[in-house]
Every structure is written in structure tokens, then in C-alpha cells.
Structure 1
């Protein structure tokens, strides 16, 4: 998820395609008729993707006769997070602000409840996944609306040729374009054997072990596949369990066959690893593949995005949703709700997907089969399984199901990867567990 030169924002938006009829609830103008609405959107990595947001907002504004202003706020240097913090403290700012995954809970006391928007959207677009509920709800109240722009799954992107030659795995046969997965044998054990074989052949899996989100998200999915939780949903510290021990034992074996500098990787490193041709797999959205289309087409044409391996407790995939929140101190809350309904219509969601070349992922169950994912290439169908069209895996976020305000600290302190590294680099298992337990107990007090 790097913002450097060769990252997710580099790939070219897809061509336009037909959309379903726009479905949106009318905004009944009241005291703020012909008034103003201020919006803070995340500045998209994909060139041209912001244009889709602007066009959809202007379409709504012309119809409702509302004057809108849009700011696109970069996530470089945490600027979007700093904007949220400043506005929440000042009780002034945008009416609508797009927020990264954890922030609706962080600012729950300053957000307008959006049940009256979200409940009709679910009826229209289908149910949302559990991670969206976990991050977007509190006490039955919807804190924010899932935003299609920026939301992503960080699944495996494998080299077709290298996986077949060195690991004996045909990823296209396992995840065929246009058909359900045939992945019963795609397990953590198979994954580890494949990683060992590719490392021996000189093409290690490019999996980071650092403190940035790509590394943490991967660790979260692996731990969850073993049923390993550092803090459970009740808020109890559960570090010293057999499930956590099993996850760490697996990670130690995996770390042994990863690149030696993986502990220092940031979110640009795995992208570069794939594009350079040195690795047989990374775990990432399709941005690295898309940059490879431009800079290393011989690599891109051998890439296939597919599902995560399954562990003893299931198959999990890292999912990072963005949200649109409405500040409770906003001056035009009814107009804001109407706009969010418009941006969440099937036609609008499809436009977001097209403009991002398939990178953006809707949160709704009925929005996973747009033809963009079936048609983009090379090779054609490479992104077909990216949106999880068969509900083949559970979309999750690292450190869940701990209460979100505790999980957020586990996530940003990279407790999972730090613990795995301590054990892999020679620290006794029980010592590593005791360290993580102490960290989590500290998070409970802050």
C-alpha cells in the first residue's frame, strides 16, 4: 500500500462500461435547500479514479441544486488521519469525510448515526461482510457507510509459471476464471511447501515482516486461520493459547524461507519484488500486477490473483475497507445522507470499479460480479477471483475480533509480526508470548 513511485496508484483506469439504472433516494430539500455541502475524499492512488467521484457528486448536486466543494486528501504522511483528528477536535470541517478502516470507532462520539441510510442500502445491494459490520457499527448504530473507493483485499498474486514449475501448483486450474474455486487442497500446509520449493529454486514468496499494513494484514489472516486471537471479542487477553502457539510455529517455518530482508520491508517492497521478477508470489491488491503491465509486461502476463490458503479454522483474507462518515456537527446532514445514498447505488458502485480498473471493492454481497474483473488482463480473468465472488473466504482484518479500540492498537503496533519475528529469531516461545501478553495488557489500559 505504498505511496512511492511504483505502487497501487500507478495503474491505468479501465475503459467505461454499461451500468445498471441509478437507484437513489430523493433528498427532500429543507432549510438548506440550494445550500452548501463540503466533502473530504481520500485521494485515490489510481489516475483518473478521482474523476469518477467528482462526476457522481456533480451529477447529484445538479439534480438537488446543492453547491458542493470537494477536497481530495492524500494518505501520505497520515494526512487524512490528521484531518479527521483536527476536525473532530475543532467540531468543524467537512460535512462528509472519508476515513480509513479503524477511524469510525475512533471518532464514534462525533459521527452522525447512519442507520436510516445503511439499512435501505443493504436491502438494495445485499448484505455486507462481517468486517464492515465490525468496523462500521457500534451498539447497533451505523457509524459510517462503506465506501467503494479504496477498499481492497490483499490476496495472493502468484506467478503462474513459477508456481507450476517449482511448486507443482496450477493456480489457474485451482481458481479458474468464470468458475468456482477448486481449492480444497490449497491449505496452509500446501502453501508452506510451495514457499519452500520456490525459495529453493531461487524465487521466494515476497511476504513482508515489517510494521506497515501489508505485513500486518498478512499476519492477521494467517493467525486467524489457526483461530489465534491475542484479545477475544469480550476483551480478554488470550495470547497464551494452543492456537497462538500453532500460528507461531507455522510462522517460524515460513519466515525461514522468506527473503532475508523481509523484516525491514515496507508497503512498497512486495510490489517491487513481484515487478522485478524475483518472487513467485506476493500478498497484495492488484496494483503491483497493474504496474507490471507497464514496466514488466512479461511478469504481468504470468500473474494470477486468487484466494488465501485455508488453515485449521478456515480460510481468511485480509480486507481493508474505507468508510464515508458524516460529522454530527455538520451543517447539512440530510444532504450528506442523500449524497451517500447516491454514491452507494449499483450504477455508482460500478463506475467506481471501472474507473479503478477493478482495484476498488464494494462491501455489498450483490456487487462482486461486475465484468471488469472478468475482462481485465493480461492474462484475461486474472482478477476474476479478486472480489471473492463465491464467498470462498472470510474477509477479515488483523487483530479482530478484539474490541476495535484495542484491536486498533494491536494493529498499528504490529504486535503480530513483532511476536512472530521474536520467536523466529531465537527467542523462546513462552518468552515471546509473555511479551505479547504484556503489550496487550498495556493496550487495555490506554
Structure 2
């Protein structure tokens, strides 16, 4: 594509055309055109990449910037390895997708994007606290929260089995098109439902392995008890009544789960739902989408809804993706202009639709797109997936520990390991002492 320079006057005009809120140019230099290299996460949903490709093409043609997109899979940690390699080489893509913990890890190499985030928050509403915890340090926004890849891992329940075994109508509790009626949806109710479904032959499928789905679930339960392994200042706080309560709860819950859940990975709970054996799993709509294809009789009985509430509140596991700009990039001005374009409500809605409702914008005002109301079967099954009524706190396991410590707690599956050790008969004080020793090791590294 032929390229031409963008003057400061033209950039200001472009930014204003993209969003009425922006009254200043984002481009600092005199030349915003040229070429732009982009590394996006390779979406699992067939056809979802096309939406981002179309948005980039639309922007590139308008701004006369030549664009090149690489789609990078997260399988085999290829995305993580790509980020690490480019950070070390100080060369690579102008824009790169960063999964949950990576912006904090590479904070010193990322171009601050306050000039994007401040007007976007004014336009699209506040971002949730987890996005700020992961994407902002020392008053500087490290990256822009991406619609693509961001997800909530809440309950996906079988409508029929929850009614049959537990006497719970999940559609009435989380009605499509209306606010939740979930005052009685608590940890105690959840435990009783798990017991009833286990007795009925359709146990909940909640993993206790060390991969993301298992860690995310237990992290939300720990938050529901106010249980922290390390506080925001970096102090080890694992020896607490709240941690003991969370471990005791998981010991009781695990008695009603499939016996092999300590060995589950992120595919296991999906398979459990699609097989028809499970009454509930914790997952974004990916398992339901697979069921639509492979087991439609299961899919038509699925309902995605909110988490149960613990003594300290209702927390849901949230994993955001980000789009970042390297501070050594060759075309930072154009990169920021494109990210502004891709963060508009109309762009987010296209990406949500292309993913079948899987992808989630992180801004408060972008939670009511028609995709979530209309997707089915059954129609409305995803209505409460994006948390449209701010019914629950979107959290991430191991917060509020400083991210460099939290990521080790997360990646090592420390909380699930604690739960399994205690369930298998280890005294709770011994389990906590073991965890304290592990945390001390994390501090040293």
C-alpha cells in the first residue's frame, strides 16, 4: 500500500473523527504513516480473526498505512515466547497481544498509553479493578485492554440437571433480559447443589489441577472469603482464618467432585460438559460453543450465569488480554491511532459478534451488545456472561499481591495444591506452613 505522511493537524482531525471525546492528537511525531506490524492472539473461534483483520484494514486504508498482521497461538506458550523474544531483542511488532500477566512483566519496555486510556474511559466507562491491577503501574497505563481474548470464567450450568437434582432454576435466578435474582445463590447453596448433583450422578466439573481454569475458580472462592496469600504490600498473609475457611470449604466441595479433578487440565471441564455427565462447569462460553457443534442436546440445556456469593462478596474469575506498544517500536504514533480505532464501541461489538459472545470488552458501558442477548440455543444463554448489572466483582486469583509475586502463585497453582493436600488428609496448619515456605521462595526469586 502506498504510504504518506500524516501532519499533526491531520492526526488531530483523525482522532476527533474516531472519537468525539478526544480533543488532542495522539501522534507525537510528524510522520504517522508508513507501515505497521501487528501480532494478534490467534483466536480459537473459527472466523473470529476476520473481525480484527477487517478493522485493521479499514483503519489502514483510511490512514494510508501499510499493515501486516501475524496471528500467534497461545498453544505451546508461543505467544508468551514471542513476547519474551521481542522484549529481549528490542525488535519486533509495533503492536502485540499481551495475555493477563505480561504487561506487568514487561512494564519497562512498554510505551505508556495514558493518552489513550483516559479518553477511552471517559467514553466507554470505567474498567474493572482487575484490568487496572494488571495494566497500570505507578500511574502509567502499560497497555490497552483488548476485547479479543478477554473472558469471564463463571458457571455454565445444565438447566435440566440443576432443576432435577438441586431444585434450582438457573434461568429464573439469572433471567435473560433482566437483573439477577440471586440473593440466595451463596457458597452454602452452591455446596448443597454440588452434593445433590453428585448424588444424582451428574457432579459439578470443577478442576483442581494447576492450569488456568482450576486456578481461576479457586481464586474466586478465596476472594469470596477474603483470603489472601500475600497482601498488596508484599507481606505473606497465608496464616489467617480466612485462608483456613477457604480450604475447609474446598475440602467439603471436593467430596462431591469427580475423583480425578486434581489431574484435570483446561480441556477436562469442557469435555465433562460436552459428555453430558456434568451439571455445571466453570468456563467461558467455549465449552457451550463446542457442545453446539458436537452435542446440541447438551448445548440447548446450558445457561451461563454469575458466581455464588461468599461471606466477603461475590467474585467472578476474569482474565483480560491487552494490546501493547513497545517503547522501542518504529511507529508508535500509528500504533496508538490503530488501538484507539479498535477500542471504539462499534469495533468492540464487531469483535464480540465474530466470537459468538466469547470476547469481552473491559469497559463498563460495553456489556449490553445484542450478541449476548440473542445467542442460543437457548436464546439468552449468554445474557449474564458480560456481567451487565455489575452483579459481581471481576477478580483474578492471587490478587492483590504485587504482580511479580502473584504470577508465581498463579502459574504454580499454589491454591489448588493447598486444597488437594488438605483434602487428601494433611492437617490444615501443615498445609499452610508448606504454602508459607513456597511463598518465601517466590519472594526470593
Superposition TM-score, scaled by structure 2 size: 0.94
* Residue deviations 1:406-433 (CA, integer Å, cap 9, x gap): 0000000000000010000011110000
Q: SS state of the match for residue 307, structure 1?
A: coil
1:250: which partner in 2?
249
Task: Tell me, in whole angstroms, the C-alpha distance in 1 between the residues paired with 2:28 and 2:91.
Answer: 22
Alignment correspondent of 2:199: 200
Aligned pairs for 1:267-306 within 5 A: 267-306=266-305
Alpha carbons 2:38, 2:70 under 8 Å: kept: yes
SS at structure 2 position matched to 1:149 = strand
Is the CA contact (8 Å cut-off) linking 2:227 and 2:243 kept in structure 1?
yes
Instruction: Note the C-alpha offset of 1:23.
Output: 3.3
**SS state at 2:204 partner:** coil
Cα displacement string for residues 14-37 of structure 1 (whole angstroms, at most 9, x for unaligned residues): xxxxxxx96376766954444111
**Paired residues of 1:40 and 1:70 also in contact (CA < 8 A):** yes
Equivalent residue runs for 1:275-354 within 5 Å? 275-354=274-353
Structure-1 residue corresponding to 2:412: 413
String of CA shifts for 1:351-410, please: whole Å, max 9, x gaps: 010100100000000000001100111111000000000000000000000011100000
Q: CA RMSD in A?
A: 1.2
Q: Do 1:39 and 1:94's aligned partners in 2 also have CA atoms closer than 8 Å? A: yes
- Gaps in structure 1 of 5+ consecutive residues: 1-20
SS in 2 for 1:86: helix
Aligned residue in 2 for 1:111: 110
1:123 aligns with 2:122: yes
Give the superposition deviation at 1:234. 1.0
SS in structure 1 at match of 2:233: coil
The one of the two structures with greater contact order (alpha-carbon pairs below 8 A, sep at least 6) is 1
SS, match of residue 318 in structure 1 = strand
Q: Which residue of 2 aligns with 1:23?
A: 19
Q: Which residue matches 1:222? A: 221
Distance in 1 (CA, whole Å) between partners of 2:108 and 2:29 is 26
Contact kept, 8 Å, 1:22 with 1:348, in 2: the verdict is no
Q: For 1:221, what is the secondary structure of its paired residue?
A: helix
- The TM-score, its normalising length taken from structure 1, stands at 0.94
Q: Can you list the C-alpha shifts for 1:313-363, whole angstroms capped at 9, x where unaligned?
A: 000000000000100000100111100000000110000101001000000
CA distance in structure 2 between the partners assigned to 1:426 and 1:393 by the alignment: 33
Helix, strand or coil for the counterpart of 2:39?
Answer: strand
Secondary structure, aligned partner of 1:67: strand
Question: Are the equivalent residues in 2 in contact too, given 1:209–1:421 (CA < 8 A)?
Answer: yes
- Superposition map of 1:100-249 within 5 A: 100-249=99-248
Q: Is this contact kept in 2: 1:23–1:346, CA < 8 A?
A: no
How far did residue 240 of structure 1 move? 0.7
Contact persistence 2:32–2:331 (CA under 8 A): no
Aligned counterparts of 1:313 and 1:33: Cα–Cα separation in 2: 49
Native 8 Å contact 1:117 1:337 kept in 2: yes
CA contact (8 A) 1:22 1:347 kept: no
Could you say which residue in structure 2 is the equivalent of 1:9? none
